Amino acid sequence: MPSDQPTDKLRDERPDRPVLTGLIALVGVGLVVGLVLGGVALGAVSVLGLGGGDGGSGGTANQQSFYLPEPEPTDEPSGPLITLAPEPGSDGSGSAEPSESATTEAPEEEISLSAGQTSVSPMQQIDLTGVYPGGEGAILQVQRFADGQWVDFPVTASVSNETFSTYIQTGQLGENRFRMVDTSTGLESNEVTVTIG
């Protein structure tokens, strides 16, 4: 049957053509999608101004976006960098008579404590900060006044550059009194009061 040969030849070529056509279509779609996504990305970079000095709009490309002034030498500070609370008994005018112990020996170290908040909700953070001149490296224990005595609160702070900071949280309602105590020397700070509730 000679008439069957051309039909068999066409059947042998046709199974390869759908695969080849599908492959070409996939490559074509991939190129089109890539070009569209690239165009969208380029447009977004241009609109957002992420492309550098020449990629933005003509009016904003030549403007400075950051100005850094030339550095100038400054004088050393002449006064104290931290203001401490006045000593008890002095009115701050400088006219108070110095005691004998103050004139014969160096002033005693003092822990000055302050609370960042005076009233908080239960378990809200209370920031405790302060100054401890001469107490470099000391470990300070937080204490709370409860049942007529000072008891340790499970928080400590270390002194660095003569300052310290920590925070506490408590659910004890009402007025709470806190202080810091140097664990080595027993030196106590002033007390601060924070209302919980």
Residue 12: predicted pLDDT? 53
Looking at the domain assignment, is residue 15 inside a domain?
no
Looking at the domain assignment, is residue 49 inside a domain?
no
Mean pLDDT of the chain: 78
Residue 5: predicted pLDDT? 56
Q: Which residues pair with 25 in a beta bridge?
A: none
| Residue 31: how many other CB atoms lie within 10 Å | 10
Provide the pLDDT confidence category of residue 18 given band limits of 50, 70 and 90: confident
Q: How many CA atoms lie within 13 A of 179 on its CB side?
A: 16
Looking at the domain assignment, is residue 140 inside a domain?
yes
pLDDT digits (tens, 9 = 90+) for 80-89: 666 666 666 5
Looking at the domain assignment, is residue 157 inside a domain?
yes
Phi, psi of 155 (to 5 degrees): -145, 140
Q: Strands of 79-186 (E only): list them.
A: 112-115, 119-120, 126-131, 139-146, 149-158, 163-168, 174-182
Buried b (16+ CB within 10 A) or exposed e, 109-134: ebbbbebeeeebeeeeebebebbbbe
CATH of the domain at 115: 2.60.40.1930
Q: How many domains does the chain have?
A: 1
